[in-house]
A and B are shown apart, each in its own frame.
Chain A
């Protein structure tokens, strides 16, 4: 409760939360498209590639103004994504390999530059290394302004080009035959991804920023089969993770923001993977078990019916052992027979023998109709 009160009263905290929410929303939404286009790891490469951009921007201008640093990160991050596309298209190197090469080369170069900057004699450089793991507590109003400004533009463009982005994500070839400039739209989508990433770097850090791209989208995909719902959900999950991480790290001294955000997002992903209604692991298992059970019930019912049909009444009792032998699907028939009893489809005659109830007879006939097209 205290936290909520703080959130509304404390100006700094409110600013941080607002910034984290907006960067979560834009990275969640753009991450959704990246996930569907099988480009989740592109976010990882871009965020790592942005590090030398930050360092170069500082070296060239001597300024730590957020707009300058974000611009540097954006330009170099974008350059990185162009290089990946070119490597994949023009050389025999595959997509995953070019991602890996680019990520490590750029990140390594960025670390070298950062070390170099650290050794420089002037004191102005302090704080640049917080771009590695993110430091929400250091966010100032001008940082938030940059996040809000760029984040809003990113979201606005995404809404404007919604139908086009959906089309090129699902079927780029047909998009081109319909007259859309697919290559340009793909570049635009990548540019938006770069923008969504670079505004998060100061808060989340280059090392873990990719989690803000991948995790909300992966979690959201579990809950819905509608693109619109998925993107909105990814944005909300992004905002929740962002705010959760940023606020807790502002409250606890020396708690880095990025890792906390990732922990929050990972918990949401885990819950989604396990418990989502249609795609979640748990409910899928339950459904499998249920349909397996239904098959077993039907199998034993049909067996009982077949046996009984050799006698004058369908209710003629038969031994459990015969049923065990008859059907491979019924496995051990006892458990299924017990279930049949609770469902009032069969009843035990004595310790050994079982017979169909009239309801069981009815259902057995329906099953046979369904399976053999009414030929029996």
Chain B
């Protein structure tokens, strides 16, 4: 292992040399990433850069060809309950016959263990998580009747009930209304205050400096990672987004306003 470990630094998430390939084509190449405790980190990069794959590889939802992942110094298999995953909204069928409370309760199925059914204690925790994302009045709502933003907040509530230390979120801001965006930002800050670590796949470059402490610029390889003010630079963005220079300048121009 490298010297940073000997400094006594216990990373919340420590990714080394992670490589993932689909049918011989590398999607992630030799990615290193160290995320300290209690930060909000954005993962940005163009389409096909491997942002979602990185999250899924950390969670072992896709097999990695090489590399290692440690969560607070332990392998993921050893204690899955320390990570909560918020997948993309479109990854499930929202016409599934169930309601909001039930979906949030699913976040506790792992801690319930085999065969045990959720009871009133679980119900209370689910309602509390729903209140945290401003959805308490929707508990009995059929999930097919939710707007996109409400669906997203239900997913966040399901992650909250897991009592995890590390949250991995895949595009939570994708196509949500202003209310939901506000609610997510508030939630992220409250998680940071409680010492949680949150890694978010993010599309909107403009809001990166406002919402996040750290950023990973990714395009198959790691371009740069670290505190936003240090690594969210024009050069790094250019290196990440390649030829789309005009686009990058526009982002930075607006940022400097």
Chain A: residues with CB nearer than 8 A to chain B?
36, 38, 160-164, 166-167, 169-171, 173-180, 221, 224-227, 229-230
- Whether B85 contacts A36 by the Cβ 8 Å rule is no
- Whether A164 contacts B99 by the Cβ 8 Å rule is no
Chain B residues with Cβ under 8 A from A166's Cβ?
98, 106
Chain A residues with Cβ under 8 A from B107's Cβ?
174, 178
Chain B residues with Cβ under 8 A from A171's Cβ?
87, 91-92, 106
Query: For chains A and B in complex, what number of residue pairs have CB atoms within 8 angstroms?
Result: 76
A189 to chain B, nearest CB (A): 15
- Whether B106 contacts A170 by the Cβ 8 Å rule is yes
A161, A163, A164, A175 — most chain B CB neighbours (10 Å)? A163
Given known A160-B115, A171-B91, A173-B87, contact A178–B110 (CB-CB < 8 A):
yes
- Whether B117 contacts A226 by the Cβ 8 Å rule is no
- Whether B144 contacts A164 by the Cβ 8 Å rule is no
Residue B83, interface by CB 8 Å: yes
- A163–B114 Cα gap in the complex (Å)? 9
B9 to chain A, nearest CB (A): 26
- A177–B172 Cα gap in the complex (Å)? 18
Q: Which of A163, A176, A226 contacts B112 (CB 8 A)?
A: A163
Residue B239, interface by CB 8 Å: no
Chain B residues with Cβ under 8 A from A36's Cβ?
93, 96-97
- Whether B142 contacts A177 by the Cβ 8 Å rule is no
Residue B61, interface by CB 8 Å: yes
Chain A residues with Cβ under 8 A from B116's Cβ?
163
Nearest chain-B residue to A32 (Cβ)?
Answer: B97
Closest 5 A/B residue pairs (Cβ): A178-B110, A177-B85, A179-B80, A225-B142, A179-B110
Chain A residues with Cβ under 8 A from B138's Cβ?
none
B2 to chain A, nearest CB (A): 28
- Whether B96 contacts A174 by the Cβ 8 Å rule is no
Tell me the residues in window 184-215 of chain B with beta carbons closer than 8 Å to chain A beta carbons.
none
Residue B158, interface by CB 8 Å: yes
Nearest chain-B residue to A92 (Cβ)?
Answer: B23
Q: Which of A173, A174, A176, A230 contacts B97 (CB 8 A)?
A: A230
Chain B residues with Cβ under 8 A from A173's Cβ?
56, 59, 61, 85, 87, 91
Residue B109, interface by CB 8 Å: yes
Chain B residues with Cβ under 8 A from A174's Cβ?
85, 87, 106-107, 158
A167, A173, A229 — most chain B CB neighbours (10 Å)? A173
A237 to chain B, nearest CB (A): 15
30 pairs of residues in contact across A and B, judged by CB atoms under 8 Å: A36-B93, A160-B115, A161-B115, A162-B117, A163-B112, A163-B115, A163-B117, A163-B118, A164-B114, A166-B106, A167-B106, A167-B109, A170-B93, A170-B98, A171-B92, A171-B106, A173-B85, A173-B91, A174-B85, A174-B87, A174-B158, A175-B109, A177-B85, A178-B162, A179-B81, A180-B110, A225-B97, A225-B144, A226-B98, A227-B97
What class of interface size applies to chain B in its complex with A?
20 to 34
Residue B228, interface by CB 8 Å: no
- Whether B80 contacts A170 by the Cβ 8 Å rule is no
Chain A residues with Cβ under 8 A from B162's Cβ?
178
Nearest chain-A residue to B88 (Cβ)?
Answer: A173
Residue B103, interface by CB 8 Å: yes
| Supplied contacts A177-B61, A221-B97, 11 more A-B pairs, CB within 8 Å | A38-B93, A162-B117, A163-B118, A164-B114, A171-B87, A171-B91, A174-B106, A176-B60, A179-B80, A225-B99, A227-B98
- A225–B145 Cα gap in the complex (Å)? 11
Nearest chain-B residue to A229 (Cβ)?
Answer: B97
Chain A residues with Cβ under 8 A from B85's Cβ?
173-174, 177
Provide the B23-42 mask, 1 if CB < 8 A to any CB of A, else 0: 00000000000000000000
Chain B residues with Cβ under 8 A from A224's Cβ?
97
- A177–B159 Cα gap in the complex (Å)? 11
Nearest chain-B residue to A36 (Cβ)?
Answer: B96
Given known A36-B96, A170-B98, A230-B97, contact A177–B59 (CB-CB < 8 A):
yes
- A260–B36 Cα gap in the complex (Å)? 66
- Whether B106 contacts A226 by the Cβ 8 Å rule is no
- Whether A176 contacts B61 by the Cβ 8 Å rule is yes
- Whether A177 contacts B80 by the Cβ 8 Å rule is yes
Q: Which of B59, B81, B92, B142 contacts A170 (CB 8 A)?
A: B92
- Whether A178 contacts B80 by the Cβ 8 Å rule is yes
Chain A residues with Cβ under 8 A from B92's Cβ?
170-171
- A300–B93 Cα gap in the complex (Å)? 40
